[in-house]
Structure 1
Amino acid sequence: MDSDSERQPLLSQTKHQDQPNNGGKSHSHKSELDEHKQLLNNALYPADAFSGTSYWADLPASEQLLWVKNKAREEAKREYRAVQQLAKAGILRPLREYCRTYALPGAGFFVEGYVLFSVGNIMPLFKAVWPQCFDDTVVCSEQSIKAIKYMEIVGILCGQLVVGYLGDAIGRRWGLIQDVCIMLVGTILLTSMWGLSLQGWTIMYAISIFVFGLGVGGEYPMTGTSSIEGMKGSEDRQHRGRSACLAFLMQGWGQLANQVVLILLTVATSSSHSLQPPYSEQETQITFRVSFAIAALCLLYFLRLRIKNTNVDSGIRANRTQNNSAGYDWVSFKFVLSRFWARLLASSLCWFCSDFAFYGMQIFRNDLLQLVTGTSAREADTIWLYNLINIFCQLIGYYMAALLIDYKPYGRRRMQTCGFFAQFVIYATISFLYPVLSQPGPGAKAFQALYFFANFWVQFGPNSTTFLLAAEIFPIGIRSTAHGFSAAVGKVGALVATVSFAYIGDRTKFILASVSTLVGLFLTLVFVPDTTGLDLAEMQRAWGFVTQGDVADYHGVAVHQQHLSTWERLVRKRMKNYEIDSDRKQRLDELREMYAKSIEDVNSANHEGGEIDEGLVRYFELEAKLRREGLETVSE
């Protein structure tokens, strides 16, 4: 068997070799046999997932760790060389490529973070300028002020459910386009909202943020699915998680951008050109309206890009062609509910636990920052500057998640486990030591550090992994629906926290947050599978056996114990069908059938996203030639 370093990681990357010299027939046969063997190895045993013919997760622990480290080092060197090549073409080319590949797919989350977190960011300014409404609630009802927070989450929840279904029914592209259109309408409403009284204004504020939330909700299933479905082969196995995380973390950059814009606009419009109060009504009107108008301009640009993107539906079109269906995949939907309900339970309830703690802390972060800084709710300057530290801590967590989420010894499940555990320890510590931490001085500084550290683990943990896993662990035909449902359950957790936290003390908030993360930890350990290193095509192949009622006939790596949850291993015994040698024969038969089908209708197979490629065609052409000459082929 050829060594890993002698093989290309992708079948499609294997180029046709020159025909051998007819002068030496034995040399010709040997060359063709070697090429035939090489092509088969690339198809069945890709070098980024196999050591020889052994799957990486089957290696002994010491060998496995060494193999993973070597592969990670090789891939890091390859990417470093690629960045160097880009830099030679222009010093800003690496940044441009990063934005094109990762930032633009997450553009919707950038605007989401920018606008939605402005509800909390801008509140100190509103309390300072209109205290009779937003602080003392003399001229505005307390319910209308709370409704702003509630309607934001309800809008997101509705969008996740509706657009999640539409993304599978009509396709990702139109889902992405309609999301931007709805968010654009929402930002226009936010920019121009007005009322005959402050009470009327707050009601319009709640309606506008609800409309915007509908578009934001759709971004979760649409970006979650489209950010991973366009990847193939080695890129999919090694960097799928990173691609989704780097799109999702644009939410953090949106938060940062909004806070910076508010600071700059406040300084620019202030008569003293500083952040120090007092702030006038006119200055505040200009600040918040211009900040929302900037979001509207960004959405216009993103809408243009999404209209031009016509390739985002290739995966779901191929699935419909394979299943001879033109509409919603009700067969997969039925099997997920009846036989894989534990995965839906895991993805949705873990998201609930994560959002309960995360949004509970974020929605009321201003109150918490007032507590630890000793400032008034109307001192926007101090709260904003401390919030910048909070956002930077989260961004570090986002990037750490993107860095390690595809690293096999750590991966999705361990990252989510560690994130929940770290949050539990921090929140439990804060609740236990609250009387000391809530006092000015060293206690308050320790409180600040713990709070910021907890937000780091939110992003370097369940907030990133729940977004990714909800898209990966379901079949492509209902992937958007399952992701939207899981995200909606998460927003139920955010809504429960937002409502309940308004009526309880600060210490109790941390107690409930610690309980929530402990439950999330338990659910992760029992029900969450680990898809690190497993490509989407193989998972979809396994789902094909499930929907055809042939679960026992699938023997591939998707049922390896490495990729199954504790529940699936110990209770459902799904790893019992794993047999790599049987899978080899099965996969070869599938490739042969695919090749035969491509001969009948090549254009249809290629256009609809079939897995046929140049290397596979070459393999079967060589096989036919060798058999005609009476030689034994690799597959025999």
Structure 2
Amino acid sequence: MPRQQLRVLIALDTVRIRWYHFTAIVISGMGFFTDAYDLFSISLITKLLGRIYYYEEGHLKPGTLPIQVLAAVNGVAFCGTLAGQLFFGWLGDKMGRKSVYGITLILMVVCSIASGLSFGSNPKGVMAALCFFRFWLGFGIGGDYPLSATIMSEYANKKTRGAFISAVFAMQGFGILASGIVALIVSAAFNSAFPAPAFGENANVSTVPQADYVWRIILMFGAFPAALTFYWRMKMPETARYTALIAKNAKQAATDMGKVLNIDIEAEEDMIANDRANSFGLFSKKFLRRHGYHLLGTTSTWFLLDIAFYSQNLFQKDIFTAISWLPQPEKMNAIDEVYRIARAQTLVALLGTIPGYWFTVAFIDTVGRFPIQFMGFFFMTVFMLALALPYSYWKQHNPIGFVILYALTFFFANFGPNTTTFVVPAEIFPARLRSTCHGISAATGKAGAIVGAFGFLYASQDPQQLLRDNPKYPKGLGMQHALIILGCINALGMLFTFLLPEPKGKSLEELSGENEPENGDMETPCDAASEANLL
């Protein structure tokens, strides 16, 4: 028989939606707003960096970042994010979710400003400084993943938990949109104040000196939303599940949750004082038996998803240029190029990215996590192959049709695995290891993002152009073959989704087995996966 549940946890699982739930969504979600802004704003300015720092007098084309520099600038933040997810995920289980929650915001604020102040005596110095600060920016961003997901899952009731966690993650869409809007405003203002001809008209002045301010302002703006929420994060109490189940202080847990939910909760110290049933470690046989398949499922699906998702996001400007939806660089000046790239990103965010997030919020607690993730991977596969196989047709005859299908892949990424891979790891692991396991899952996802940032960059290059410009680097496959590979990766994501259980409508303790006695009947990972497949 299941162990009797603590009243404070029962209250959290069954309490009606309170104003504090929405407050927690905003406080946690603003971290993801900042995360997305900082991670994706870099894609708006890489071409501008090439024009400013790598144009050589006498060249017939605008300057571009050398491919190894472009890979580093795009990928270094993901390396920091991966490290931050592992470190802060572990720290969140050791010291408490709230105790380290403010550190991540401080890192994001400081490093966003420092990224915009990256100076050097030569282009390599500027790029080195930018990469250094973006690594530590990513480190702070990484900590926000396990902490925000765990905090929201442990505050929410079991009926609407999926929607609450999804809503936190959905703020990422607004962060992507904000990066595009800020870039539009800044570039339009500078282009109006300091107009320059297109590159072909006068190569010497197509990149005005003031263009150096544009990318710095865009990057530094990411500090503001993080700074605005710091005070409120510090006011949040520790989650009751950490205080009661890990810190073993049921009285404090009842007091904290009673205040924020405005209800009376009775403490039960005697029920947790001698609880040893779930004291197994992350690397124990017991964890492997209970949650091994689950961890494999969360890590593999997040890894595969992020290869495709970040490849599409980081290099959408190159994809749009390849299909001639954006003009060639020599037909516009440097700041106008930023404006046009930002406009394209903003349109895709409005048409596909943001609606996808909020469809998940609306349906995740009725449809379920497993069906949404499987459906998302399926349609991402379909649309990616629909873009890739008739690629020549889209490029030559119908670039607008390409953009519409491309936006649909973003819609089903977000109304699908991009959201559910964030939600599920925050629900199915024990409280003592929840933040750690979410950090491991997220870090594996960022390993996929690194593969996408570096691999897709090389794979999508025109083979002859890449070999001519960089003879020592591997030969590119071309955009069409790169898109086919991404479609196949999405198909693999469908298969690995079968390793995951369906958390809909269950309490966190029911999912993790924390309310089961030591020798009680436990649902095995295989059974859980089989059950999920029938839902």
TM superposition score normalised by structure 1: 0.67
Q: 2:264: which partner in 1?
A: none
Q: 2:267: which partner in 1?
A: none
Distance of 1:531 and 1:276 partners within structure 2: 57
Which string of whole-angstrom CA distances, capped at 9 and with x for unpartnered residues, describes residues 450-496 of structure 1?
Answer: 11110110000000000000111111110001000011111111111
Distance of 1:294 and 1:497 partners within structure 2: 26
Which string of whole-angstrom CA distances, capped at 9 and with x for unpartnered residues, describes residues 411-464 of structure 1?
Answer: 10000010000011111222221222221x32x222111111101100000000
Matched, 1:318 2:241: no
Distance of 2:524 and 2:158 partners within structure 1: 16
Are 1:276 and 1:381, in contact at CA under 8 Å, matched by a contact in 2? no
Are 1:144 and 1:203, in contact at CA under 8 Å, matched by a contact in 2? no
Matched, 1:510 2:483: yes
Q: 2:389: which partner in 1?
A: 432
Q: 2:328: which partner in 1?
A: 376
Which string of whole-angstrom CA distances, capped at 9 and with x for unpartnered residues, describes residues 520-571 of structure 1?
Answer: 10111x211111111224335x2343xx53142x6xxx7899x92128889x
Task: Give the secondary-structure state (helix, strand or coil) at the position aligned to 2:177.
Answer: helix
Relative to structure 1, is the Cα distance of residues 223 and 294 closer, same or farther in structure 2, using a 3 angstrom cutoff? same
Which string of whole-angstrom CA distances, capped at 9 and with x for unpartnered residues, describes residues 245-299 of structure 1?
Answer: 1111111111111111111122223345889967654433333333333322332
Which string of whole-angstrom CA distances, capped at 9 and with x for unpartnered residues, describes residues 382-430 of structure 1?
Answer: 32222111111100000001000001xx210000010000011111222
Q: Give the CA RMSD over aligned residues.
A: 3.3
Are 2:292 and 2:525, in contact at CA under 8 Å, matched by a contact in 1? no
Amino acid at match of 1:468: V
Distance of 2:301 and 2:355 partners within structure 1: 22
**By how many angstroms is 1:342 displaced?**
0.5
Amino acid at match of 2:74: K
Matched, 1:122 2:74: no
Matched, 1:169 2:94: yes
Relative to structure 1, is the Cα distance of residues 359 and 324 closer, same or farther in structure 2, using a 3 angstrom cutoff? farther
Are 2:85 and 2:142, in contact at CA under 8 Å, matched by a contact in 1? yes
Residue 389 of structure 1, aligned match among 335, 341, 347:
347
Which string of whole-angstrom CA distances, capped at 9 and with x for unpartnered residues, describes residues 3-52 of structure 1?
Answer: xxxxxxxx999xxxxxxxxxxxxxxxxxxxxxxxxxxxxx89x999xxxx
Amino acid at match of 2:189: A
Which string of whole-angstrom CA distances, capped at 9 and with x for unpartnered residues, describes residues 157-202 of structure 1?
Answer: 1011111110101110122111112212211211211111112101
Relative to structure 1, is the Cα distance of residues 530 and 260 closer, same or farther in structure 2, using a 3 angstrom cutoff? same
Residue 549 of structure 1, aligned match among 518, 527, 533:
518
Percent of residue pairs identical: 27
Which string of whole-angstrom CA distances, capped at 9 and with x for unpartnered residues, describes residues 229-256 of structure 1?
Answer: 012xxxx122101111111111111111
Distance of 2:194 and 2:64 partners within structure 1: 30
Relative to structure 1, is the Cα distance of residues 204 and 99 closer, same or farther in structure 2, using a 3 angstrom cutoff? farther
Residue 223 of structure 1, aligned match among 148, 164, 189:
148
> Structure 1: which 4+ aligned runs deviate by more than 6 Å?
96-99, 135-140, 273-276, 558-561, 567-570
Task: Give the secondary-structure state (helix, strand or coil) at the position aligned to 1:249.
Answer: helix
After the TM superposition, which residues 47-86 of structure 1 pair with which residues of structure 2 at under 5 Å, given as runs? none
Q: 1:38: which partner in 2?
A: none
Distance of 2:14 and 2:38 partners within structure 1: 44
Are 1:275 and 1:381, in contact at CA under 8 Å, matched by a contact in 2? no
Q: Which has the higher contact order (CA 8 A, sep 6+)?
A: 2
Relative to structure 1, is the Cα distance of residues 333 and 323 closer, same or farther in structure 2, using a 3 angstrom cutoff? farther
Task: Give the secondary-structure state (helix, strand or coil) at the position aligned to 1:340.
Answer: helix
Q: 1:490: which partner in 2?
A: 445
Q: 1:399: which partner in 2?
A: 358
Matched, 1:265 2:186: yes
Relative to structure 1, is the Cα distance of residues 123 and 141 closer, same or farther in structure 2, using a 3 angstrom cutoff? closer
Matched, 1:287 2:214: yes
Distance of 1:97 and 1:369 partners within structure 2: 43
- How many residue pairs were aligned? 467
Distance of 2:493 and 2:193 partners within structure 1: 49
Task: Give the secondary-structure state (helix, strand or coil) at the position aligned to 1:243.
Answer: helix
Residue 341 of structure 1, aligned match among 288, 292, 297:
292
Distance of 1:285 and 1:118 partners within structure 2: 15
Are 2:291 and 2:429, in contact at CA under 8 Å, matched by a contact in 1? no
**By how many angstroms is 1:339 displaced?**
3.5
Relative to structure 1, is the Cα distance of residues 569 and 99 closer, same or farther in structure 2, using a 3 angstrom cutoff? closer
Q: 2:228: which partner in 1?
A: 301
Relative to structure 1, is the Cα distance of residues 126 and 97 closer, same or farther in structure 2, using a 3 angstrom cutoff? farther
Residue 415 of structure 2, aligned match among 448, 460, 467:
460
Residue 533 of structure 1, aligned match among 499, 505, 521:
505
Distance of 1:437 and 1:139 partners within structure 2: 26
Matched, 1:447 2:402: yes
Distance of 2:414 and 2:127 partners within structure 1: 31
Amino acid at match of 2:387: I
Q: What runs of 5+ residues in structure 2 fail to find an aligned partner?
A: 1-5, 199-204, 249-271, 460-477
Distance of 1:12 and 1:261 partners within structure 2: 47
Q: 2:371: which partner in 1?
A: 414
Q: 1:64: which partner in 2?
A: none
Are 2:194 and 2:208, in contact at CA under 8 Å, matched by a contact in 1? no
Distance of 1:201 and 1:161 partners within structure 2: 29
Task: Give the secondary-structure state (helix, strand or coil) at the position aligned to 1:515.
Answer: helix
Q: 2:528: which partner in 1?
A: 564
After the TM superposition, which residues 135-154 of structure 1 pair with which residues of structure 2 at under 5 Å, given as runs? 141-154=66-79
Larger Rg: 1
Of residues 393-402 and 256-265 in structure 1, the stretch that sits farther from structure 2 once superposed is 256-265
Distance of 1:275 and 1:422 partners within structure 2: 43
Amino acid at match of 1:538: E
Relative to structure 1, is the Cα distance of residues 485 and 282 closer, same or farther in structure 2, using a 3 angstrom cutoff? same
Relative to structure 1, is the Cα distance of residues 204 and 507 closer, same or farther in structure 2, using a 3 angstrom cutoff? same
Q: 1:358: which partner in 2?
A: 309
Which string of whole-angstrom CA distances, capped at 9 and with x for unpartnered residues, describes residues 109-140 of structure 1?
Answer: 1111111101102224334444528x979797
Task: Give the secondary-structure state (helix, strand or coil) at the position aligned to 1:132.
Answer: coil
Distance of 2:208 and 2:42 partners within structure 1: 18
